[in-house]
Amino acid sequence: MGQPTAPNPALLLVAVFSRHEAAIDWARRRAEETWGAVKFESPRFIFDDTDYYQPTMGSEIQKRFFVFDNDFQQDSLAEVKLLTNRWEEEYAEEAGHDESRPLNLDPGYLCLGKLVLASTKDHAHRIYLSGGIYGEVTLHYRSKRWQPAGDWTFADYRREDYHEFFTDCRAYLHEKIRKEAAR
């Protein structure tokens, strides 16, 4: 019989996208108030891989990733998603933008072997976490590179520029784990 083990170390990741610079800055401040300083911040990526969000978010959307070095507890991902959903609603009410959803926050975590995202939508490739939240392995790390976890992996998460950023985060986590093991 197998024995339960603790999960591997992970880094909390929050994907933030909006057409409004102020929304991205607001999200960063809220996240840092909650999880501490951002350890890694991606460049601003142009989000033009799909027009799915245009009706609710407008056009010229930008996306940025914030990664936190806070020994993320993977079993808290559903709580994090519920919190970021509340932040989206709060920002929409406060900011007064024309779009119904001026800010989109997608939390997840990155560990050595995978990148997991939280979602409110069930699908065949997602597992139920709690509180109406599902988790999906969006990317997995194999043969020294990030690879889509299946046909359902979002188009933008297939991008090489995202993978470069995630690889830098993964290298940091790998070194952190190595140093902790050497103690």
Q: What is the pLDDT of residues 85-122, one digit of tens each?
A: 999 999 999 999 999 999 999 999 999 999 999 999 99
Ranking 3-7, 40-44, 138-142 by mean pLDDT, the lowest is 3-7
Q: Would residue 57 count as lying in a domain?
A: yes
pLDDT for res 180:
87
Residue 110 covered by a domain: yes
Looking at the domain assignment, is residue 147 inside a domain? yes
Among 32, 31, 23, 86, CA closest to 60: 23
- Give the pLDDT score at 65: 98
At residue 103, φ and ψ (nearest 5 deg) are -140, 135
Residues of the chain with pLDDT > 90, as a percent, come to: 91
The boundaries of the domain holding residue 129 are 11-182
In sign, the C-alpha dihedral spanning 134, 104, 146, 69 is negative
pLDDT score recorded for residue 34: 97
In a domain, 6, yes or no: no
> Does 15 map to a domain?
yes
Cα dist from 73 to 1, 24, 80, 150, 180, whole Å: 25, 24, 10, 25, 17
2 in a structural domain? no
pLDDT band at 129; cut points 50, 70, 90: very high
Amino acid 83: pLDDT: 98
pLDDT digits (tens, 9 = 90+) for 33-74: 999 999 999 999 999 988 999 999 999 999 999 999 988 999
pTM (2 d.p.): 0.95
* Structural domain includes residue 1: no
Domain assignment present for 4: no
3-state secondary structure of 159: coil
Please state the domain count of the chain: 1
